[in-house]
């Protein structure tokens, strides 16, 4: 098993009176794809990245250290082209020295994510699936060690989701550790090497996707009897 890249120790987060995450401890190992399902996690407590305490870092410092994230609600630079959006990631997060270097690096990412044809369009003119892809390309341009994807598939149709999943697998093949926040079971089960299930802010299960669907607490909290049975049937048949 490879070394820990991100360690969370007793992390909690409150939004007003709502306890979103309480005292969760998780280790993330290099190169794996982990899906957190249940609730939206956020930071507080103690978080270590490659051994260094990064609990109190500001977002731009995280970006420069190699922790990139995408948002559930896309955050483009609306009046910039797709290329410039991705170049922003390369220039500031990927530490390219000049604007023209960053543009070059951005073109590579557009190629990788299949956005080359849209390079000169305004980011705001793309479909939702396209804008989510721009977010992903922007994060990849930051040369992340860990890529955190927050509901990248929310609002997409079935074939768009398949496209996104293929892309995420190819990113993983490049050796990037991937942490995904997701509710869609299709994504959770087909992509994850390890799944963490949170319920009312507490970690109730952790393990391989096939073990998770057997866990009675997970079935009770999320899946329902019917889904778990159907999943096991399809797994045994195919």
Partner 1 sequence: MPQSLRYVLFAAWVLALASTPLWAENYVVRLAIVIAMYTALTLSWNFIGGFAGYPSFSTAAFFGLGCYAGALPQNAGVPMVLAWALATLFVGMFAALLGIIILRLRGHYFAIASFALVEVVRLVISSWGNLTGGGDGLNVPLVSGGPSVVAQTFLGVMIAIMLIVFAVTILVDRSRLGFGLSCIQQNEDAADMVGVDTTRYKVYAYTLSAMFCGTVGAAYASWTGYIDPSDSFSIIMTVKVPVMCLLGGAGTVLGPVVGAAAFLLLEEFFWANFLEYNRAILGAIIVVLIFFLPGGLLRISYSDLLSRTVRRSTQPGATP
Residues of this chain that interact with partner 1 (CB under 8 A) are 58-60, 63-64, 69, 71, 75-80, 84, 87-89, 91-93, 98-99, 102, 138, 142
Residue among 102, 136, 106, 105 nearest 119 (CA): 106
Q: How far is the CB of 65 from partner 1 (least distance, A)?
A: 9
Q: How far is the CB of 59 from partner 1 (least distance, A)?
A: 4
Q: How far is the CB of 72 from partner 1 (least distance, A)?
A: 13
Q: Of 3 and 95, which has the nearer Cβ to partner 1?
A: 95
Residues facing residue 1 across a β-bridge: none
Question: What are phi and psi for residue 206, nearest 5 degrees?
Answer: -150, 135
Residue 182 is encoded by which pair of tokens? 């997701």
Q: Of 80 and 129, which has the nearer Cβ to partner 1?
A: 80
Residues facing residue 81 across a β-bridge: 122
Q: Of 137 and 219, which has the nearer Cβ to partner 1?
A: 137
Q: How far is the CB of 130 from partner 1 (least distance, A)?
A: 17
Torsion of CA 166, 90, 134, 34, to 10 degrees: 40
Q: How far is the CB of 91 from partner 1 (least distance, A)?
A: 6
Q: How far is the CB of 95 from partner 1 (least distance, A)?
A: 8
Read off the DSSP letter of residue 72: S
Q: Of 102 and 192, which has the nearer Cβ to partner 1?
A: 102
Q: Of 100 and 157, which has the nearer Cβ to partner 1?
A: 100
Q: Of 90 and 197, which has the nearer Cβ to partner 1?
A: 90
Q: Of 94 and 201, which has the nearer Cβ to partner 1?
A: 94
CB atoms within 10 A of CB 73: 9
Whole-angstrom CA distances from 43 to 57, 58, 61, 67, 221 are 10, 11, 15, 13, 24
Question: What are phi and psi for residue 107, nearest 5 degrees?
Answer: -60, -40
CA distance 165 to 155: 14
Q: Which residues in 90-111 are b (16+ Cβ under 10 Å) and which e?
A: bbebbebeeeeebbebbbebbe
CA distance 150 to 218: 21
Q: How far is the CB of 30 from partner 1 (least distance, A)?
A: 22
């Amino acid at each position: 098993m490879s070394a820990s890249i991100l360690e969370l120790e007793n992390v909690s987060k409150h939004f007003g009176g709502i306890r979103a995450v309480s005292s969760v401890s998780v280790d993330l190992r290099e190169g794996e794809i982990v899906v957190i399902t249940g609730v939206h996690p956020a930071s507080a407590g103690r978080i270590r990245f490659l051994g260094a305490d990064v609990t109190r870092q500001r977002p731009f410092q995280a970006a420069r250290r190699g922790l990139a994230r995408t948002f559930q609600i896309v955050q483009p630079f609306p009046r910039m082209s797709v290329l410039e959006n991705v170049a922003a990631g390369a220039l500031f997060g990927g530490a390219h020295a000049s604007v023209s270097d960053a543009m070059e690096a951005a073109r590579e990412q557009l190629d990788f994510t299949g956005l080359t044809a849209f390079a000169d369009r305004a980011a705001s003119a793309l479909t939702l699936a396209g804008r989510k892809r721009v977010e992903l390309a922007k994060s990849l341009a930051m040369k992340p060690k860990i890529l955190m994807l927050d509901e990248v598939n929310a609002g997409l149709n079935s074939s768009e989701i398949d496209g996104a999943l293929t892309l995420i697998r190819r990113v993983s093949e490049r050796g990037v550790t991937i942490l995904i926040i997701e509710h869609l079971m299709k994504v959770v089960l087909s992509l994850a090497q390890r799944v963490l299930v949170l319920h009312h802010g507490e970690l109730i299960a952790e393990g391989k996707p096939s073990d998770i669907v057997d866990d009675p607490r997970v079935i009770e909290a999320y899946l329902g009897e019917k889904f778990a049975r159907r999943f096991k049937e399809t797994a045994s048949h195919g």
